[in-house]
Each structure stands twice: as structure tokens, then as C-alpha cells.
Structure 1
């Protein structure tokens, strides 16, 4: 939370949360913890650490962003973990990992000149593997029309289990946006993960009927969040909610599926995944 915010603060947060939830106050500029926060790591012995990428507000789109740029360090300090600092400008929403050496990212995001001028795609791939403990990077085309994040992968394709990727399916209407969804599906088709397993693709629709005309409105069901014993999925009050709910329940038979109406989050251009960042026990 941002100190001095007229719309919130520690007392308000404390009143809304269970006693076993810790509240940490930090001077942030925006709400997207996924992107400004660290990516947590865990080694075979269970020891934790955090990777801190450079943050420039999605290619210099917002100012100021000094608070967000310092947020990953504050989180690592609070969590009392060692941090590894990268010179790559990157955001947590720009990668999806399976925990077994495979990383998915997009060509429209980190190689973008607004983030990493002078970095080759090979150099970016090498850095991602080094900083996230990966062995293989799968590059998807991304989506240049999604100009808030330049096509973050967490709105396109995410691992829901090793060897299984959840992706958006294109709508029925002909559009350039749907063309890019198809390009990403085509690029994932036939891919194998770091262990050589062929990746299974499960698709869900976008919430195209969500009743918002806001230009940044996030309509992605892919942008969901896994928690201990459960999964939090976004809903929009439309027919596709029911379809996606059934898919989530089949994907996560041993987890409790909980739904959150995200209209007030989605107008900012992101979803549940974007405002969260998991920390391993």
C-alpha cells in the first residue's frame, strides 16, 4: 500500500484481513506486485531467494515509478531472503515457469526497445535462464496491440502444471487481435518442455461480453492465481464465466476453485495474477 493514500491504509487493510496475514507498508506507485516485485526462487534444499529485475514502468509508460522500482528489494528484505539483481528490464508478468526448467515469454515484451535496447534475443534468453534457474525458453509472438504491457505472457499463456499450458482461444469475429491469439497458439503447438515432454494446450475464451468499454479493460481468464490448495479465477458476470469455471474445475480437481469479480481491477489493464506474487514456504 502507499503511505498516506486517502483510499486506504494499514487500519483499513487490517480490518479486512485475517489476523494471520502480515501487512507491510511500502511506498509504491502502482498496484501491480507481479511486475514490480521479485520472482522468488527455491533450491533443491528448500532455501529461498529472490530475483530482482530492473523495473521501468512497462517501458517508461508511467511516472514516477521509483517506488515500484524499489519494491522488489523491499520485499526481499522483508522476506529475509538473498536477492540476485539483474540488469535486464523485465516484469514477473512477462514470464511463466513450470518449476522444472521451462520458461515461456513473448517477443513483443522484453526485446522491446522501450525496455532493453542493445540486448539481443539470445542475451535476454540467457539472462532469463540464469536468473530464474531455467534450462529452456519458449518464445511466443506476443501481442503488439496490447500496449499496456506490450503483450505480457500472463494474459496469453501460463503453466497450470508441468507439461500443461492454459492459453486464450480466439473469438469468432475476424480481427487483428484474434489473429495474434491464433499466432500464439500456433507457436505453442508441438512445443516440448525442458524435460522433453510435449506440452498439452488447454484453451479458454476471453471474456468478450464483459460490459466495459474501458480501453484498458483486462478480459483474460488466463490471468488467474494458484494458491495453496486452491485457484482464484476471475469472473465478469457473463456466460463465459460458466464455461471457464468448468474448465478450471477439470484442470484442478484437487484444488478449490474460487471466483472473484474483477471489474475494478480490470480497468487498470490487469487481473488477479497481476496484483499478486507468490512466495514459497
Structure 2
């Protein structure tokens, strides 16, 4: 593992819309977690994951990490184009436990292995905390380790020096006790090439019950530099509506690394899909994934799916919007973005 004391400022994290070499995912196999905690059968959850993997495989290579105990189910449900990579794992949230890939103009591709502590010690992670390093080792890529407790779902970048994150995650005592914004911003500057970090409140009172404590990929997502899709709700009287208002207010006041104000495009959440009996349910359409030539969109089988697809089609002209049903996955508090991680193409070409 490479030391972060070395000069790393030329490394940067490309935007998600930059061309990908592959998408990484992890296959769900923890039956007790999904069935006892989230109330879904493992078969239902695996069907949702396979739906996402198979949709992405139409557009780019998919590398699916599979625990040795779950190879048969992955082979049965995933198309042949999905490559299965056997590695022992605890859980299936590759956005958070996998590496954040970075590029360098001379040295090519590498990855950052954050200190993954399962969203503040909320579940077993004895295997997942080393997953990013193991994947990078298998790829033969340099690995930049970081003492910062962070997850990929906690950050969004625009590829032009701007990063958006939330205070309720990275300043949470369950992640980085004693660290302030300056130290965290310095890590982003050194490891990801970030010039400007924008802090949103996130979910400071934890009204959503979200295990992540308020990941930014449930709040907003870049469409392109200076343009954001933001989570919105029609239920203005709910406790979550206040969370939405405060995050939007922070975005309205913010400037990106180039000094631009953000254009904000509302993406109303899938309120009608929420299971009232569920402990948590991810209804955010901003939790989509940008694949090569496509937007892989969370869908729930409701009318709002069509409205969200129309908004995304306007925001991403030239990309095919592909809705994938994730009702079972949503019971675990996550969506399409939470279970995917992009590996940039190298040499990096300009996206069409």
C-alpha cells in the first residue's frame, strides 16, 4: 500500500460520466441480514442486484465480487457478460467498501482505500474493510490508504475540482472523532485532486433512520459541472421535508471550484413506493448510476418512475435511461448508486 506522505496532488477522481473500463459490484449473500433485519428474502434482493448488473452489462463490463458461498446464485441470475470475481465479503455495498478510483496524467490508474468502518460500526466489516485494497491488488494497481473513515456514497465529484459531501456523515463521531473540515478537505485535496469541498448538512437529526447517516448520493447528483439533480418531496409537512429544504438551501448558497452557482433540477422521490412497515426504504431517484451511454435508474413500478425517467432523459441527452426495479434492495436503505462503483477508462478519453 502506498503511503499518503508521498506527493499525490496530480491524482484526481474523474466524474462518473467519464468513460468507464468497468463497473464493480458485490453480490448479496448475507441471508440473516436481509431477512431478519430488512425483511426481504435473499432471493428477492439477489434478483434486484442481478437486474442492475445485467442492465449495466449492456453498456460496459461488469465485475461482480462474489463470496465463495454464493457462486451458484450469482451464476444462475447474472448474464454471461457479468464477470464473477471470488472474494470473501461481509456485505454488498460496493460503492462504500470498494475503492475510489483515481487517475494521474503520467502514472495512470490507481485507487483510494478509505478506512471503512461500516457506517460507524453498524455491522460486521472484518472482511469488507480490506476489500478495496484486495481488489486493487488483484488489478495490479497502486493503492492509496487513508485513515479517513469515508465511503464512496458520501462523496460526489464533478471532475473539475468540486466535491460535495455531508456533515452528518464525515463529521460524525462514529467516523472521524476529533477531525474538522480542514483536515478532511486536505485529504480530499491530496487524494482526489479536489479544490473545493461543499458541505451539506445531510441528515443531522437522523430522521430518516438511514444506516449511512445521510449519504450525499441520496441527496443530489451531478448531471454535469454546475448542474445538480436534487432530491425533492411533495410531502412538505414531513420531517424529511425539512432535511430536503436545508440541503437545498446549502446548495443554493454554494459555489463550485470554478466559482459557479449551481443549476438545481428537482427529482421528486418515489413516495408512493415506500413500504410503511419497513424500518428504512430508499426512495431517492438521485441514487441513479451513470454508465457508458446510459443512466441506470432506480424504479419501483409506480407512476413516479415515468416522471423521474423524463427528468433524467432531459438532464442526460444522448444517454439511454434504463429503469431497473429495486423494491427489495430499497428495503436495505440503498439504491442503484449504492451498489455500483465505476472504474475509469485509462487512458481517459473525452466523453461524448
1:71 aligns with 2:134: no
Cα distance, 1:45 vs structure 2 = 4.5
Tell me what 2:90 maps to.
29
1:50/1:82 contact within 8 Å kept = yes
1:1-281 to structure 2, matched below 5 A, reads 9-45=70-106, 47-62=108-123, 64-143=124-203, 144-147=206-209, 148-213=211-276, 214-281=278-345
Range 14-23 or range 153-162, more displaced:
14-23
Identify if the C-alpha distance between structure 1 residues 176 and 16 changes in structure 2 by more than 3 Å, giving closer, same or farther.
Answer: closer
TM-score under structure 2 length normalisation: 0.75
Per-residue deviation, 1:81:
1.2
SS at structure 1 position matched to 2:217? helix
- Aligned-pair CA distance for 1:174: 0.8
With over 3 angstroms needed to count, the CA separation of the structure-2 counterparts of 1:269 and 1:249, relative to structure 1, is: same
Structure-2 separation of matches of 1:38 and 1:251: 27
In 1: Cα distance, 2:79 partner to 2:149 partner: 35
Q: Separation in 1 of the partners of 2:218 and 2:197?
A: 18
User: How big is the alpha-carbon RMSD for the aligned residues of Structure 1 and Structure 2?
Assistant: 1.9
Greater share of helix residues, 1 or 2? Answer: 2
Check conservation: 1:60, 1:114, Cα contact below 8 A. Answer: yes
Q: How many residues align?
A: 280
Runs (5+) with no aligned partner, structure 1: none
**Is the contact between residue 252 and residue 261 of structure 2 (CA under 8 Å) also seen in structure 1?**
no
Cα displacement string for residues 164-183 of structure 1 (whole angstroms, at most 9, x for unaligned residues): 11111132341221001000
Instruction: With the length of structure 1 as denominator, give the TM-score of the two structures.
Output: 0.94
Q: Relative contact order (alpha carbons < 8 A, sep ≥ 6): 1 or 2 greater?
A: 2
Q: CA deviation at 1:12?
A: 3.5
| Partner SS, residue 92 of structure 2 | coil
